[in-house]
Structure 1
């Protein structure tokens, strides 16, 4: 290597550490191509960089090819390499649509490009590509052309196999993949017509031919119990089988905590910690205890399972935990992030056994303010496994004589724990009062639980009401998470924060217009605070359509993500927030644990307490992460969270459609839960299931969609259908394959109101929806009343209690009309998928 070239490469030292015969770094190659100002061949580049020996020449060729695969540079048909930006190329991903078109979503956040159906014939949803702007179509949309496919998203496709007229096809389960996959007879294996299968792609599609695949797994018929979970896991690429190396690694762990592992830990086995979880919970990762201080206030102890002791950096367990990044909860089933020997065993804070923990000790004033905190490693011995129901019966004031008798019975049963529970409850009321006074948002929601009958089919869907016991745990977890975030900020270590930015500017104006139509007002100007949103919540607290209006508030907010740059948590009203309290089921929490243990063992601070017999832990051993590492991990964990949610929603859709199949022709009272350009989504009262009244089912008028007022307005009759309207509907179609329920209007409980005369909104110029079936499916996680335990997705977690995920789905066209007498039925992709009812509430998502 030339000394001159080496001296000019700012990363030459790094390359020298990695390779015995280092070559120019990627950064230097990009810098050099920028300076040259034109594409160059491999041979020319070797000459310019003075690489002469055969090994260096070949190494540079491999590096250039790798940079091409990653989209950093482009190799054209002449075999020369150039900068993508100088060639007018942009790196990004493809987003498919059920109707055959798609979008190119640039990696740099610039405007999306429309991909027509012909362009999409060679692409799959999620493909990583290079594209360029090809022009603007007649509707004013920027169109794109994909120049190069860098990475295919799918190697396998899940779908339904059909064999007819001499050939086989697989229809993908994902509606973002509208193409059929060809299956040669010799590649069909044992699959039978109509079965769900997994097909491995052998030839990717082009403009001239469809994709070809071979069947590698037969999942079964639609009647098979649990099939919906098998499909969801594979459709969403969720890891669900333990690698052999992981299974073998579990042999290193004993069934119980060994005495040698208590070295360096504070002994808190005599402290009356208790766990408070749902009836069905198995993994208890947090325990709480509070005691009154002599000078007023409380000391709150939150003990969290020390997963970092068992899942060590770089181990096979760690690699699989990164891969999964989160536990995935389905009705009656869970795909854990950690093997059950840890998640339900050594790491679970079961009563009566020793468990290793990291404890956050906090001083709480009588006003409910956290005045100090300290983290330390400990061993605890849970004194009781209690449920939310039990604790609520013990601490809440009874409203009836029956409840009074039950309260007396429960207090007698748990007499030894009563002083501690009463102290926790007093502490909770102070914490809750302080948060209320601070202006933090709090969404009041009704959740649901699925009750299964035989063969894992829904028997009924019942409401589950949150109690003060849920809120008690939430407030304790919030305190510990805030303390962890403050510690990370003061330590200057790169770390993952839970970031929830404020309102989306593009949606704020529409929200205000919508609220004004109802006589409501959102203060705060261009940058409203959480307290401003709370004022609106107070205005709507007694309205019958409260939960629907909460939905609109939540959709105006950004999605919450994991990232190393702390931007605060808008929904909770905290300047810094991190996830610390659930390391059994969330990888970001495990990372925070590793950071805290590193700080305990190596730093001196009043917020850290190291035991005298504790040894050292170097950064290399436990926390070697850079800011760049954290950025990558944050993006991966955020993706895995959305992936898990998507799988859960898919399963709920399937189960609800199954439940409604024998109710075709039945009539229900319902509430308009969302209004779109293609119809009304109606939530059926008492069963918490939603279906679509397509715009073509609204008779005797042309209807126009007003996206600001969220209504469909009749052109001639001036009749309008609004969010929150009470209606009567009949179930007319249920399509299990497409997970769609179609309804027909039979009447309005409250007659459709004449709309105020105003200018009809015209059609917007712009894109059609990226996926109109999910347009109002905005969802969030961090505003659902605290940091409680994980529950399966519920009705209001989908519609409004989960404000953290209300990120930007593209709005559709501003108007839609229906020709009188049309018999068009609703399309599969038009079905709304929000507000599916939840599963048994074993754990509630934490914020």
Structure 2
């Protein structure tokens, strides 16, 4: 009866097209997608909102449906190439999920020429017996023009890429430097040797650091200053620049180009902590003990003067050799770098005690030539300088989260929840299948994941195991409801350190300033959520556990902060998708020059339809379809994450080493196909027998000792010591100078009862 009612019921959702002509209805209620055969896709397009009904179940019990009503046509522009076939003008969509070419009447081509990439606005939707009709709205240029892949991506994903005239006018009216009137009620830190440490290609600098030894309680420790660009001083709530910044929510990074959240005058000028110039900043001033625990902290607005712009490579070289040429060039600042390194090691020891997850993964960087073509793809190596800055920023973010939480002021937290029960079960089965000998509990702590990673780091399939550990976790989001950060093992965490490129950080700065002035920050009226916002909202709602008791209806203030969090989270995903799309396009174009060539690689994903292989030399991923694995039937083992041949027993699993040939590159579909090189099967079989047949791999060193993190892990203590004391004259103690002519604040004092 229930099944019959289910077949009769209608469901609302959004159409998701497939390049092969069929599609799906992604249901609003979070239930499994409804399959739409190609004939049902004739009258709809990718992203249309529809009402559908399930008409049958296939042999695997999956629902197949029929569109009963088109509720809303997508207003997203279609990007494609203008073609002329037998006198008929049409545009072939670049995104093959649209499935149909768009007819263009003769008078609607504008200035576009055949073969050019254009943006199309639909004038007539598709019908059962008619193609969609549109007009050329914008001409982007030739397909091989440098940067064309970025122009396509920003429009394909709806990334705002042009500032409003009002925002540009407001930016032009801003001063070129810090004015005397800007210094009122600010602590003067211009004599403190704060420095920035960033990558070689960085253009905006939003954080600076300084460290000196200090007495903490009765023991030794450090005073760590993290100074962040004070964007909120120049970007007022509800101003034209603020409206554009909220719309973008984040800067978007592409190879060779950045679409900034703020106009360039702010992002690369007035708010960037460039060396040798005065800049306004917000400071998190911390006392950290010898164990790496934050003993006390305070926030205050300040003015600073960056004493140097360091790169990660330069700092790493100085820390490795304090008598080398890099150290000689920066002789006066080397002692402060050594202080930073000392506090980093203390913070790292605290991180290890918490049991925070810290897997070593390979990140890559695309290096392009002047024309935008990939020159090479190189791995990004994380040295001690990267980790030093990371730990300093984590400390400031934790203090920000606690400061807001203790003040009971609404704000955005960066929340990372533990794995869902389904992912937990999948991970347990996987670890058991590989004979790891360790597993996770029903309510796992992050330390359990880190212990498994540490215990398996010397196994030949370590990368395979660590990949599964990472995949079992959920994505982090912005929300006013604090649920802690699972991966970092913090009870409260937020983003404070990058207001130039992330809108949530700008909101956190505004909230902290409001608390310091004993006021309340009020969010402006927010625009209607977009499609990405709605999608993320439904996805998050589907993973929220139903309450066991009646819950109070959230206030209008809470709902506004929730909307802001969803908007920022959704636009973060949008930026990631656009960046990945461009990188995939560049890699496909790069691999077209290597068709037919052979490479060694490693299996990085296994599915029921094949294996994905990442090449060793190029860090490019491609698919070996299951039909290319040999003349036998392969069964997908979800527990082991492998494909296994029924006749020979050959196994292809995460971490398997293979030799492949580049067989096909589909630029429009962002897809690279490989085929296995003959004679590969025996190599893989031997490798997988070694990995799964027991032996030393099962008898690794015990897990790292220490607490399980997360639960009961220490964090900055609450209390009055978190609040900035009165800004009055204090004894100057930095850079080896005496006196306090510039009014530096006293170090934050610990109160009785605080943990130290």
TM-score band (shorter)?
0.7 to 0.9
The separation in 1 between residues aligned to 2:274 and 2:192, in whole angstroms, is: 14
- Are 2:95 and 2:669, in contact at CA under 8 Å, matched by a contact in 1? no
The partner residue of 2:406 within 487, 490, 504 is 490
**Would you say the 8 A contact 1:446–1:466 is kept in 2?**
no
Give 2:723's aligned residue: none
Partner of 1:268: 189
Query: Residue deviations 1:409-467, cap 9 Å, x none?
Result: 12211111122111111000000011012111101123222222341211212222110
- Equivalent residue runs for 1:325-340 within 5 Å: 325-340=249-264
- 1:518-557 alignment, distance < 5 Å: 518-557=434-473
* Structure 2 Cα separation of the partners of residues 349 and 718 of structure 1: 60
Runs of at least 5 residues in structure 1 that lack an aligned partner in the other structure: 1-84, 399-403, 604-616, 757-847
In structure 2, C-alpha distance between the alignment counterparts of 1:418 and 1:686, rounded to whole Å: 37
Match of 2:290 in 1: 366
Question: Using a 3 Å threshold, how does the CA distance of structure 1 residues 162 and 748 change in structure 2: closer, same or farther?
Answer: same
Q: Residues 155 and 201 of structure 1: is their aligned pair in 2 closer, same or farther, counting only changes over 3 Å?
A: farther
Q: Distance in 1 between matches of 2:136 and 2:522?
A: 47
Match of 1:457 in 2: 373
State the TM-score, normalized to the length of structure 2: 0.82
Question: 1:292·1:298 contact (CA, 8 Å) conserved in 2?
Answer: yes
Separation (CA, whole Å) in 2 of partners of 1:110 and 1:697: 34
Alignment of 1:321 with 2:240, yes or no, is: no
Report the Cα offset of residue 661 of structure 1.
Answer: 1.4
Q: 1:548 to 1:181 in 2, by over 3 A?
A: farther
Partner of 2:276: 352
Within 2, Cα distance between the matches of 1:459 and 1:625? 52
How far residue 544 of structure 1 moved from its aligned partner, in angstroms, is 4.2
| Equivalence for 1:15 | none
Distance 1:620 1:585, change over 3 A: closer
Match of 1:694 in 2: 625
Give 1:290-689 correspondences, 5 Å limit.
Answer: 290-294=211-215, 295-396=219-320, 407-602=323-518, 619=522, 626-689=557-620
Q: Aligned to 1:105, what secondary structure does the other structure show?
A: strand
Is the CA contact (8 Å cut-off) linking 2:96 and 2:668 kept in structure 1?
Answer: no
The corresponding residue for 1:284 is 205
Alignment check: 8 A CA contact 2:510 2:521 kept:
no
Q: Give the 3-state SS of the residue equivalent to 2:371 in structure 1.
A: helix
For residue 235 of structure 1, report the CA deviation from its aligned partner: 0.7
Determine which of 92, 99, 119 is the counterpart of 1:171.
Answer: 92
Q: Note the C-alpha offset of 1:159.
A: 1.6
Range with bigger deviation, 516-525 or 89-98? 89-98
Cα 1:266–1:132 shift into 2, 3 Å? farther
Contact 1:500 1:567 in 2 (8 A): yes
What does residue range 706-785 of structure 1 map to in structure 2 within 5 Å?
706-746=637-677, 747-748=679-680, 751-753=683-685
* Secondary structure of the structure 1 residue equivalent to 2:606: strand
Give the superposition deviation at 1:106: 3.7
Match of 2:45 in 1: 124
The answer on whether the counterparts of 2:463 and 2:655 sit within 8 Å (CA) in structure 1 is no
Q: Could you report, residue by residue, the CA deviation over 1:185-223 in whole angstroms, capped at 9, with x for unpaired residues?
A: 322233333322111111222333222111122222222
Q: 1:275·1:385 contact (CA, 8 Å) conserved in 2?
A: yes
Total equivalences in the alignment = 650
* Alignment-derived partner of residue 157 in structure 2: 236
Relative distance call for 1:489 and 1:256 in structure 2 (3 A) is same
Change (3 A) 1:483 1:89: farther
User: Is this contact kept in 1: 2:658–2:680, CA < 8 A?
Assistant: yes
Hey, what does 2:719 align to over in structure 1? none
Q: 1:173 to 1:367 in 2, by over 3 A?
A: same
How far apart in 2 are the matches of 1:679 and 1:672?
A: 10
After TM superposition, list the pairs within 5 Å mapping 1:142-181 onto structure 2: 142-181=63-102
Distance change >3 Å, CA 133–CA 730, structure 1 → 2:
closer
Q: Distance in 2 between matches of 1:106 and 1:690?
A: 31
Measure the CA separation in 2 of the matches of 1:150 and 1:492: 42
